[in-house]
Amino acid sequence: MRAGDRRRMTVNRAWWDESVPHHVAARSYNVPAFLRGATTLRPLEVRAMGPVRGKSLLHLQCHFGLDTLSWARRGAVVTGVDFSLPAVKAARRLARRAKISAKFLQSNVYEVPESLGTRFDIVYTGKGAISWLPDITRWAKVVARSLKPGGKFLLIEDHPISEVFSNEPTTTQLETAYPYFGGRPVREESEGTYATAAKMRHRVTYGWIHPISEIVSSLVVNGLEIEAVREYPYTFWRRFPFLTEDAQHWWHFPDRDGMIPLMWTVRARLRADSA
């Protein structure tokens, strides 16, 4: 990894470390509801994944573990990995409070195969994860090296085309702000986080826009067979301030629904002949 990208990921980790207690307490994450038995998984991703009971599942970039533990409630044997130690500690505490068996490990996503030394039936990731990574080809290699031959991969994520537009709090319409191609880091600075208005000491973050062609091609090159790619005119969070929420808690354009895709999913399998 380039030195500049290592530095940017260090900056991001400081932001994520500080965000953890704010997110655990945030209304949008709704930890109390989870402890009462609620799930953070959407029916859409549960259908796409299929049965998980008894299967080993690795959640890359798991934050403080709500999705990971939701898969455990569906019967998966789960391992969550995140580069933030406060997030991993919070995930372990949450698992104990919820009385759910789960393993959580601190690791840079690019070092997961070496950190774990095992392969899984399923690898799952998404909901605002891969835009934090500078090298998507190396990420796809991690996915492949973490799967057993024939194992399943599921990604649910912001559509990269939606990331080229400004999402400042004052934004009232779609305004292009970042290039879709080129892989250049996007620097952002804000007082709070996407989930809370709490004042942060660490305010700078870096992200990367990865075109769909780059993501899919990287998975294929690393031995995954694509089973399904889906695009959706809604997403899982209020990406732009003028989006509106429906009864299923998806966020849409209020008057031009379907104007651009806001979310997408990929389901794939590692080829059975892969090493």
pLDDT digits (tens, 9 = 90+) for 97-117: 999 999 999 999 999 999 999
Does 60 map to a domain?
yes
Does 228 map to a domain?
yes
pLDDT of 274 above 80: no
Q: Is the pTM higher than 0.85?
A: yes
Does 153 map to a domain?
yes
pLDDT recorded at residue 202: 93
pLDDT recorded at residue 32: 97
Does 275 map to a domain?
no
pLDDT recorded at residue 172: 83
Q: Is 270 exposed, middle or buried (0-12, 13-18, 19+ CB in 10 A)?
A: buried
> 126: closest CA among 182, 58, 188?
58
Domain count, the chain: 1
pLDDT of 233 above 70: yes
Domain enclosing residue 16, as ranges: 3-270
Does 182 map to a domain?
yes
Does 137 map to a domain?
yes
Does 58 map to a domain?
yes
Averaged confidence pLDDT in the chain? 95
CATH code, domain carrying 101? 3.40.50.150
In the structure, what pLDDT confidence band is assigned to residue 275 with cuts at 50, 70 and 90? low
In the structure, what pLDDT confidence band is assigned to residue 191 with cuts at 50, 70 and 90? confident
